[in-house]
């Protein structure tokens, strides 16, 4: 067995859904990182435009990576590492994850994400920034039709992030409380 086979096997076993996870919750949890990915891919070329300094480039790249990592934590709500801390974590490894330790951040995150992206798109559709000023002429939706279409294709999936996370958090809550009918 090669190293890549061992890594692939470890990855699959670490991220396999635990018993009692409804299929819809598993699909929703795995879908969440893919709702964030298009916006990150949209931002990466922006980081390397002329006029963007080194600090700006690092910020945009890190923003894309961190957003994707945060989105990936939703998988923990259906995988074993959302119920038991991985063994490699000092002092916590192998212990049960307290339900509130996963549920509170997930619920708060779902609420904030839903409000944030709904408000952002309501403002964009109204033609104003979050501060209420008109969108600048170089904003993607103000440019050509193809640029606006690509922008919306990359950013509209973010509207699903909060509601999907809320649904997965609810399934996690029900399963961890032992009241979920599968």
The predicted-structure confidence for 123-149, as pLDDT tens digits, reads as follows 999 989 888 899 988 888 887 788 889
Condensed to tens digits (0 to 9), the pLDDT of residues 24-36 reads 999 999 999 999 9
- Region 117-128: what's the mean pLDDT? 93
Measure the CA–CA gap between 10 and 147, rounded to whole angstroms. 41
Q: How confident is the model at residue 163 (pLDDT cuts 50, 70, 90)?
A: very high
Residue 166: both structure tokens together: 């809320």
Model pTM score: 0.87
10 Å CB burial of residue 179 (0-12, 13-18, 19+) is exposed
Residue 172: both structure tokens together: 């996690």
Best CA proximity match to 67, nearest among 119, 130, 116, 7: 116
Condensed to tens digits (0 to 9), the pLDDT of residues 49-100 reads 878 888 989 999 999 999 999 999 999 999 988 888 888 888 988 888 999 9
Measure the CA–CA gap between 115 and 165, rounded to whole angstroms. 13
Q: What is the mean pLDDT of the chain?
A: 89
- pLDDT at position 137 is 87
- Region 99-128: what's the mean pLDDT? 95
Q: How confident is the model at residue 179 (pLDDT cuts 50, 70, 90)?
A: very low
- pLDDT at position 14 is 67
Backbone angles phi, psi at 17, to 5 degrees: -65, 145
- pLDDT at position 178 is 57
Q: Residue 97: which residues within 8 A CB-CB, separation 6 or more? A: 82, 83, 84, 85
């Amino acid at each position: 067995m090669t190293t890549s086979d061992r890594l692939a096997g470890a990855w699959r076993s670490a991220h396999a859904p635990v018993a009692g996870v409804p299929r819809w919750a598993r699909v929703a949890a795995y879908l969440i990182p893919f709702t964030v990915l298009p916006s990150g891919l949209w931002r990466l070329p922006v980081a390397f435009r002329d006029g963007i300094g080194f600090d700006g480039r690092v910020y945009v790249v890190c923003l894309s990576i961190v957003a994707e990592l945060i989105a990936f934590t939703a998988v923990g709500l259906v995988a074993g590492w959302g119920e038991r801390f991985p063994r490699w974590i000092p002092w916590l490894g192998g212990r049960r994850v307290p339900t509130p330790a996963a549920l509170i951040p997930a619920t708060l995150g779902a609420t904030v994400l839903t409000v944030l992206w709904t408000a952002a798109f309501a403002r964009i559709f109204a033609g104003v920034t979050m501060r209420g000023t008109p969108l600048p002429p170089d904003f993607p939706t103000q440019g050509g039709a193809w640029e606006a279409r690509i922008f919306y294709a990359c950013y509209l999936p973010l509207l699903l992030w909060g509601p999907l996370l809320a649904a997965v958090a609810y399934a996690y809550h029900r399963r961890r409380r032992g009241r979920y009918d599968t």
